[in-house]
Structure 1
């Protein structure tokens, strides 16, 4: 038997994120669910006691402070412990961006288990959803807003269990590289990159060395100088403007960084690039003339 307080909400199922159902349960010994599926995402969080969760041919033994994700239309089974049956809360949800948010948090069918120490906050959110249970637009907006807060807490504090360190490290590096690619034109520093991916600078340094063979600072500088070369090749912008466009407030600092990497100043590079471009154009003209002469000889 199970003592459960639950609510299922009518929903047009249109939008980026919306609540389908929620509830709290105090289970009896060996109470179980499944194997069965649900048409939406379902997150359970254990408040007390113990139990097991089976998903994709794997079994996880869980206790208070842990939770699990069930994906839509996927068979899952969970059962309360015989001696210490668990109590838990749950939230079912869907939306066009639900899967994207979960993947960003590191939760998936491969890694469905997480830990979180903010149990009182999660419980309060679910209780608030249940208290605002009318069909009206005000309560609908409130529930969906609370779902965003619920997932935000998990994203901030949840640790994904049994997720390979290599997978996590790769994810951090990808996010850091993406941040640099989008913000190289701003005067960002490595500390800004580390803060964005929510890890300390020394760990970010280690990950970049392991995955890219260079430090975060080297990658940032290399990316900026590469973009500067493109501007030097394709525009007649002043050196000062190119420096600002690539995140350097000081043109002298930019020139020193460029020289250290390319062995010449930005102005020298531009002149050489133009000479090489002119030489290539001359070679193309000479080639066309040679072809023309050959064709005339055959006439």
Structure 2
């Protein structure tokens, strides 16, 4: 089911999907997704929560989310992940407008992702991860509207990418407690396309290399170099899914010195080569 219409609370573009038996057993499953441009009559309240996870990606105006005992102002460039079974409500503030994408999804382990993010940062993030989620939800809408035969497989992969990107973001409260880690993350995110070594990361945080390794791993669960590779591969996956840039050029664009190293690292971390990953999931 899909429709695009104007209503009492504003404009909506919506798709709904009934997952196959195979998808329910093995995949992350889209239940419904859409785009809203809402006036202040829009108000959703779920006293017992959802049966599935909910992503809200704000791109314009402002929304208000009440969730987990807190109230959040959802500004453009933010993404909220609401766990199943958790009471919540969201609305457009009085006199305002709110434009956002949303996705209801389920799948093995999805509720654990949502709970982890809720516990670490109350489920609301901002920055590049929000833009990536927005783009991936739009791709899911496009795939369904185009009646892509591999919709369930591709949508499952896109949901998995979003969940892993959300988990990879370091919670604000942890970064606040570990200023050095926050500085290293900022350095990696802004400089990953070029050469980075442990000495450079330590200098960015004004601490020794040995102290950085211990502090970073205690905070993130990764060594600095492991996180750098993970971040580069994540950026590479986005380029593989969203462009026709040759694999060798993508390797250089995300900071690998040569394509062979990129391909071997990608296969080790993802279990598949970049070229095969693109063939399986690319739809442009």
Q: Which runs of 4+ in 1 moved over 6 A?
A: 167-170, 209-212
Seen in structure 2, the aligned counterparts of structure 1 residues 211 and 96 have a Cα distance that, compared at 3 Å, is closer
* 1:205 is the counterpart of 2:217: no
Number of the residue aligned with 1:17: 28
Does the Cα contact within 8 Å between 1:66 and 1:114 map onto a contact in 2? yes
Number of the residue aligned with 1:4: 12
Q: In 2, distance between residues paired with 1:48 and 1:112?
A: 19
Does the Cα contact within 8 Å between 1:111 and 1:163 map onto a contact in 2? no
- Number of aligned residue pairs: 189
Q: List alignment gaps of at least 5 residues for structure 2.
A: 1-8, 182-196, 224-284
Seen in structure 2, the aligned counterparts of structure 1 residues 81 and 200 have a Cα distance that, compared at 3 Å, is farther
Number of the residue aligned with 2:245: none
Seen in structure 2, the aligned counterparts of structure 1 residues 71 and 112 have a Cα distance that, compared at 3 Å, is same
Matches within 5 A, 1:14-163: 14-15=25-26, 17-36=28-47, 37-102=49-114, 106-108=117-119, 111-117=122-128, 121-133=132-144, 138-155=150-167, 158=169, 160-161=171-172
Moved more, 106-115 or 44-53: 106-115
Q: Say which SS state the counterpart of residue 25 (structure 2) adopts.
A: coil
How far residue 137 of structure 1 moved from its aligned partner, in angstroms, is 5.3
Matches within 5 A, 1:169-184: none
TM-score, normalising length: structure 2: 0.53
Q: In 1, distance between residues paired with 2:10 and 2:209?
A: 45
Matches within 5 A, 1:177-256: 191=198, 202=208, 205=211, 208=214
Moved more, 200-209 or 93-102: 200-209
How far residue 65 of structure 1 moved from its aligned partner, in angstroms, is 1.1
Q: List alignment gaps of at least 5 residues for structure 1.
A: 171-189, 218-299
Does the Cα contact within 8 Å between 2:58 and 2:100 map onto a contact in 1? yes
How far residue 26 of structure 1 moved from its aligned partner, in angstroms, is 0.6
Q: Say which SS state the counterpart of residue 151 (structure 1) adopts.
A: helix
TM-score, normalising length: structure 1: 0.51
How far residue 123 of structure 1 moved from its aligned partner, in angstroms, is 3.1
How far residue 143 of structure 1 moved from its aligned partner, in angstroms, is 1.5
